[in-house]
Structure 1
């Protein structure tokens, strides 16, 4: 696979300058450093019949001109600390790649996407997007787009997709990262950060120091990724939400907490849920990285599932309020507490509900017990990746897929064994099915001794 041609696309847009990273940018940057990966996002799509290379070049020009984060690169000070550099104009190459006459074009597009993702990214000199048109027998058939995660989080990506689809020309909404960084340094921003850090410290000093027991099956390669697709879990979460009149995201958080405690026996369960932060002034429609992980501790011992759900519902209010902070200062706080509480202390348990449609009411009748149980044989789990490049100790993403709920687990097998990882996701299904129609179902978690 080789590039046949490159079209140079010139662009020009509003806004330029050099600033500290915003909190959201710094958070994802620190994750990139931990995981030794530039965390590319994107994919490929078939092009409508009649699309020309010039049409795709116009789309790339639109994206680069409209969104400051598409025109953002990094510079580094003498100590290696990054800063955002926003340009108001420049040029970028659109690559043209010709597929062989007998190529499977979807497979070809997937391979080009993988090549873009697997090629190292130059944060200083490279624009944060790689785009190509695939031609077959001279006709454009597919477009491949890969962006650095510094550009935006998932909800910002949806804003971008909606706007590019209609070629929105109204002024760009939202506080851009240059302005975000300035606000975050302001007295108001510092008050928000200090309140968040006090909240985190109050929890971290009280909870058990360990998130995980010792893994009994440490593997090489060490870091594993798996996927669990469950129609029954989707239906059961919907049934619980309907029965309790609580949103499906707190329901899923409660299910996760109970399943995790059943898997590793540690209570309270300490989880870092992803928070969009888009309810904050100026952030609702901004195309940038503003989501950050919050923190909550849920006591799930000797209570019913519905009581855990009520605790999760109440906890999420505080989580949302205190999930906007300087991640560098948070890392310093965690390091300081870890030094006091011992080497086993960690906060590496992440929960990311990325669903869009299923956070709302699912259309159609409320699932019946018969329908949920009939769906159980259709659940499927598979390990997809084993690598030595690190993931976090445990992170689970949840996505919309047709007629099912998909959970993607990333884990360090030195802390979570492969058997425990699979048991956690299958355990979520079991918890949800048990609680779908029974408000009195117990968690079956024993209380834990008080930890210093």
Structure 2
């Protein structure tokens, strides 16, 4: 059981105060929070260097709260329930210190992270960052930090931690969320939104009505989370990229589309890839929630695996360009198209590639068959969570882990069965291995033995 031994009140102040509409990225993640009944916290704990003091940790927290307007952002709600962002000029926040006693401090740090993530969150009153420290016999050993997803997406969090490490004093980018929302309401922003929604409408009107076959195994609790760790996907992908010249993201996407078509039997395949949007002017170093899901439609029938990767490379560029839009207006568009197509249109699965894969050595020999088979045999899959609180129908997050690639799947068993969910991730690995050995192999499922 976690017992807070000390609380240090940390005062802060910073620029950028004001109130206004949510930016598109903020509204997108807010809608996900409403659907999933969660404030979608992201948490981490790290070991501290010997000799770290409480005062130093208070300075870290003050730096974060003062420097980044997103860390000082809370929500207010209009009478109709519409959220608005409110950025404070100053305030106070508590840094908690927990005594581990004789317990394992790493275990206590993880328990504190879970406590922060599971504690109730008030969007209108709470600061979106929670920070605490673990102390063992008067020595600080670990720092715990949890952030609401409204503060930052993955790349925004990376900027935050990079600047925190060096206490950057560089000017904060001007395009903070309040300014983003103002631009998005401008004629230029509305032109971007109109163009993006036109792309979405084209996909929504031509994609198959069903994205998944009827689930053959509806479970209670119905929403499951699974983890697949693959030691073969990385080297296989390197070989595919070296032989085709494809970038990592579209290669992963194309092979995922092949696996999805093989499992569901449905083609063309519609997928919603996460797009970070940081290639847009002035947004690359902003600590904020900027990423949004795009949409692409991939016909992978009757072609080679290499051609599937090439089509993903070409199609994904259009998806990236059109992944910057007003999500409220997208919802209106989806409702209209669903009604016009008979009310049975299933939306595509989400695909969030967070890997940072290096460019492969084109001169390196392709991995041998025994090497890839051994790597496949080392892979592991496990179900980690079963709950009634909803996830999206199907979302796959992809991350680098030491020596491997990890895919984390959130799914509704009333939409896709647990067996098909596992088969999808293992089939994704199998398609990559097959493409590494023979890029000319067909996308059709290989014959069973």
1:26 and 2:34 matched: no
Matched positions, count? 444
**1:138 offset after TM fit, Å?**
1.3
Partner of 2:195: 195
Secondary structure (helix, strand or coil) at the match of 2:284 reads: coil
The answer (yes or no) to whether the contact 1:301–1:445 under 8 Å persists in 2 is no
Q: Distance in 1 between matches of 2:56 and 2:422?
A: 45
Q: Distance in 1 between matches of 2:4 and 2:85?
A: 30
**1:166 offset after TM fit, Å?**
0.4
Correspondence 1:135-154 to 2 at 5 A: 135-154=135-154
**1:376 offset after TM fit, Å?**
1.6
Partner of 1:10: 11
The answer (yes or no) to whether the contact 2:242–2:362 under 8 Å persists in 1 is no
Correspondence 1:151-300 to 2 at 5 A: 151-300=151-300
Instruction: Report the more deviating stretch, 416-425 or 300-309.
Output: 300-309
- For structure 1, the 5+ residue unaligned runs are 447-452
**1:360 offset after TM fit, Å?**
3.8
Distance change (3 Å), C-alpha of 1:53 and 1:420:
same
Secondary structure (helix, strand or coil) at the match of 2:290 reads: coil
The answer (yes or no) to whether the contact 2:25–2:291 under 8 Å persists in 1 is yes
Q: Distance in 1 between matches of 2:110 and 2:350?
A: 28
**1:374 offset after TM fit, Å?**
2.5
**1:398 offset after TM fit, Å?**
0.5
**1:373 offset after TM fit, Å?**
2.3
Q: Distance in 1 between matches of 2:358 and 2:225?
A: 24
Partner of 2:360: 361
Q: Distance in 1 between matches of 2:214 and 2:46?
A: 43
Distance change (3 Å), C-alpha of 1:341 and 1:180:
same
Query: CA-to-partner distance for each residue in 1:419-438, whole Å, 9 max, x for gaps?
Result: 00000000011111111031
Partner of 1:450: none
Partner of 1:43: 44
Query: CA-to-partner distance for each residue in 1:403-430, whole Å, 9 max, x for gaps?
Result: 1111111000001100000000000111
**1:97 offset after TM fit, Å?**
1.0
Instruction: Report the more deviating stretch, 434-443 or 25-34.
Output: 434-443
Query: CA-to-partner distance for each residue in 1:157-182, whole Å, 9 max, x for gaps?
Result: 11111100000011112510010000
The answer (yes or no) to whether the contact 2:243–2:362 under 8 Å persists in 1 is no
Correspondence 1:39-78 to 2 at 5 A: 39-78=40-79
Distance change (3 Å), C-alpha of 1:313 and 1:378:
same
Q: Distance in 2 between matches of 1:375 and 1:445?
A: 21
**1:365 offset after TM fit, Å?**
4.2
1:105 and 2:105 matched: yes
Query: CA-to-partner distance for each residue in 1:206-264, whole Å, 9 max, x for gaps?
Result: 11111111100000000000000111111111110111111111110011000001001
The answer (yes or no) to whether the contact 2:242–2:361 under 8 Å persists in 1 is no
Correspondence 1:286-325 to 2 at 5 A: 286-325=286-325
The answer (yes or no) to whether the contact 1:396–1:410 under 8 Å persists in 2 is yes
Query: CA-to-partner distance for each residue in 1:119-172, whole Å, 9 max, x for gaps?
Result: 111100011000001111111111110000000000011111110000001111
The answer (yes or no) to whether the contact 1:247–1:359 under 8 Å persists in 2 is no
Give RMSD over aligned pairs. 1.4
Q: Distance in 1 between matches of 2:112 and 2:362?
A: 37
Q: Distance in 1 between matches of 2:43 and 2:187?
A: 37
**1:354 offset after TM fit, Å?**
0.5
The answer (yes or no) to whether the contact 2:21–2:84 under 8 Å persists in 1 is yes
The answer (yes or no) to whether the contact 2:75–2:85 under 8 Å persists in 1 is yes
Partner of 2:328: 328
Q: Give runs of ≥4 in structure 1 deviating > 2 Å.
A: 359-367
Partner of 1:393: 393
